[in-house]
Amino acid sequence: MDIITRKQLNILIQLAVSDKHFSNLERDRIYEIARKKGFPQSDVKELIINPEPIGTFGALSDNQKFEYLFACIDLMLIDQKIFETELNFCKDIAIKLGFKKNVVEFMRDEIYKHQKDDLQKLVLNEYT
C-alpha cells in the first residue's frame, strides 16, 4: 500500500469538504491523482466515506512536501471559488509540512504562472 499517496488523497478529501461542498471538479481531480499514482479507486471511496486523521509529515522529502502543498493549492483553485475555510486548511497543512503560512497566498497567486519545477525552487528557497 502506498502510504504517501494515501495521506495525500486523505488531505485532499478533507480540503474538498472543508467548505461543506465536495464539488464534482474536486472529486474528479482526486480520482485523477489516485489513477495516475495507481491507487485503487475503492480505497479512495473508502477515504471519502471515512477520512483518516491527518497526523504528521516528518518522514516526507522536500519534493513530497511540495507535491502535497501543490496538490492542495491546485484543488483549492479548481472550482474558481476560494473559501476562507479552504485557505485556513491550506495554511494549516503548509505549516505542518514545514512551510511558512504565507506560502499559500504566494502559491495561490503564482501556481499557474511558473513551470512546476521553477515554482518548487522558489517555494523551497523562500518559504521553508
CA distance 33 to 31: 5
Rounded Cα gap, residues 117 and 120, in angstroms: 5
Residue-wise pLDDT tens digits, 2-35 = 889 999 999 999 999 998 889 999 999 999 999 9
Give the three cell numbers for residue 66: 511540495
Task: With 0.75 as the threshold, say if the pTM is over it.
Answer: yes
How many whole angstroms separate alpha carbon 91 and alpha carbon 105?
Answer: 9
pLDDT for 79: 87
- pLDDT tens for 45-97 read 999 999 999 988 878 999 999 999 999 999 999 988 888 999 999 999 999 99
Name the pLDDT band for 1 (thresholds 50, 70, 90): low
Between CA 28 and CA 128 the distance in angstroms is: 30
pLDDT of the residue at 58 = 75
Share of the chain above pLDDT 90, in %: 86
> How far is Cα 69 from Cα 88, in angstroms, rounded to an integer?
13
Residue 42 has pLDDT above 90, yes or no: yes
CB 12 within 8 A of CB 72: yes
Torsion sign over Cα 111, 112, 116, 119: negative
